[in-house]
Structure 1
């Protein structure tokens, strides 16, 4: 049975194939699995994950064109609800060749049965004819190696993409942050200037510079500067934009769903006897960070992967230096092994019970206690302004 067709029929029947290790035991991670087992009537069929399929990449770069193995096809299906960034990150973590947006969309649509044709899938007759032709070739008819200069030229080629493949994503993007920033940075200051210009001088204003100095020195007139918490964008992170509010604000942990939330920012309200009332901003990307935003970062959650810090500015892209300047946390299931890097970094490990949710509140309060002590020592007040 053709592996690609067998996978489609299994998924269309509402079943999921099982991952098997090399010794035939069940595997939970596709990176450690060796076979994919299909329930074919009474006799299960197991196919090696390294088996090439009829899904053929047509890209021109050297080493990228050709059939995609069963591992790459099934992993694309497992990540069907993830956005492009999460899918690419997961492929890098598990050392699995990623498909392009167009390829992955075409494959998933075909596997779901929504389309009977895919430009990347070779028909069974064509595949059989190619196999016969390959088998009939003499050994001496091997391909002549490419000229090294031609190989280098192919390696530097890039696929031309249109606006559909570049701008479109698998999930809708929320641009609510643009409206909020426009109101904060443009509309409100303009209204304040207009209101100030319309006021007439009063007798109290005769003091001149003394009144202006008193207004500036009033903490209530200072711009609100909420502290910022950074999450890891890794697909393996337990704390994401979808569950961080419930966890940090309500003290309830829930497993992060496979689908992206579409939220680019979350706000967390926190009231404590130590630092008063504060509102925290939580983000998982620093792409839109301005230089002064880094002064407001108080905590960074990490999974122990150094690539998380590549886009951080100089002096903060080294985790050993970063976690001397901000509070570091690693959220981990109790009993699971810790990444090696976590042991050498200045990071607090927060253990989450896999089953008992009543312990979440105690865990979260311990996290906040550690962070608030760190913030209090650095002068953060209940207004979100550093003194």
Structure 2
């Protein structure tokens, strides 16, 4: 019985080793194919070409990007850009519905989502490809009070609710100071009364229809939002953008 035990153990070991070798070979092939693909990629098109020739442009994907090859020595990976959203369930955009809004250009009422039993995510991670082919990784959060000074430098956008207490404890002298340094955005549904406080703030203001038949209205708003984010990041936070040639 002992001999049988040893030999069957050895055969299992052989099978495992053969399997590992096979996996390694597959990985090597995959890496080679990836290298060949990147070598065969056509040169990037000039930015003057129409966006329609690049179907990927302006799309957000929730899938993690394939692991980039290790960055060259001394070159750190790009930091993640942060978007801060309101915590209030009554806000048109918050952690309940921001994923559907920014990824799928669909607006769903946060109140309805909560009533349906959906759980509120603690945070949302997404990647967005802008129209010029550059990209950024985003982390969407609602509580900015835990951010360090260094992390504040990576805040690309604050979606405002329209109440000053949202910024309580934030490292800015005033709302004016905040919106000089960080892109402010206010979104509301068309049936909401415009917020008087927001009117006086230097923020991008969007209103869209919440009717299902007018989903196009939401898509237009989301496209405008990403354009504003891109413009602001290009000027104020270029360190958060990955240019097409950096997308290893």
Query: Normalization by structure 1: what TM-score?
Result: 0.40
Match of 1:288 in 2: 146
What is the DSSP-based 3-state SS (H/G/I as helix, E as strand, rest coil) of the residue aligned with 1:308? helix
Q: Aligned equivalents of 2:131 and 2:104: distance in 1?
A: 17
**8 Å CA contact retained: 2:135, 2:242:** yes
Q: Which structure would you say has the larger Rg?
A: 1
Match of 2:241 in 1: 381
Alignment of 1:272-283 (within 5 A): 272-274=130-132, 276-283=134-141
Q: Aligned equivalents of 2:161 and 2:241: distance in 1?
A: 29
Q: Once superposed, what is the RMSD of the aligned Cα atoms?
A: 2.4
Alignment of 1:235-314 (within 5 A): 235-256=89-110, 257-258=113-114, 261-274=119-132, 276-314=134-172
Q: CA deviation at 1:377?
A: 1.8
Instruction: Count residues with an aligned counterpart.
Output: 167
Cα pair distance change 1:244/1:331, threshold 3 Å: same
Q: Aligned equivalents of 2:154 and 2:87: distance in 1?
A: 19
What is the DSSP-based 3-state SS (H/G/I as helix, E as strand, rest coil) of the residue aligned with 1:249? helix
1:232 equivalent in alignment to 2:92: no
Q: CA deviation at 1:262?
A: 4.0
Match of 2:199 in 1: 343
Q: CA deviation at 1:314?
A: 4.1
What is the DSSP-based 3-state SS (H/G/I as helix, E as strand, rest coil) of the residue aligned with 1:345? coil
Q: Aligned equivalents of 2:226 and 2:141: distance in 1?
A: 18
Higher relative contact order (CA 8 A, sep 6+): 2
**8 Å CA contact retained: 1:327, 1:371:** yes
What is the DSSP-based 3-state SS (H/G/I as helix, E as strand, rest coil) of the residue aligned with 2:132? coil
**8 Å CA contact retained: 2:82, 2:155:** yes
Deviates more, 1:271-280 or 1:358-367: 271-280
Q: Aligned equivalents of 1:377 and 1:287: distance in 2?
A: 25
Unaligned runs of 5+ in 2: 1-69
Unaligned runs of 5+ in 1: 1-191, 193-213
**8 Å CA contact retained: 2:124, 2:139:** yes
**8 Å CA contact retained: 1:241, 1:261:** no
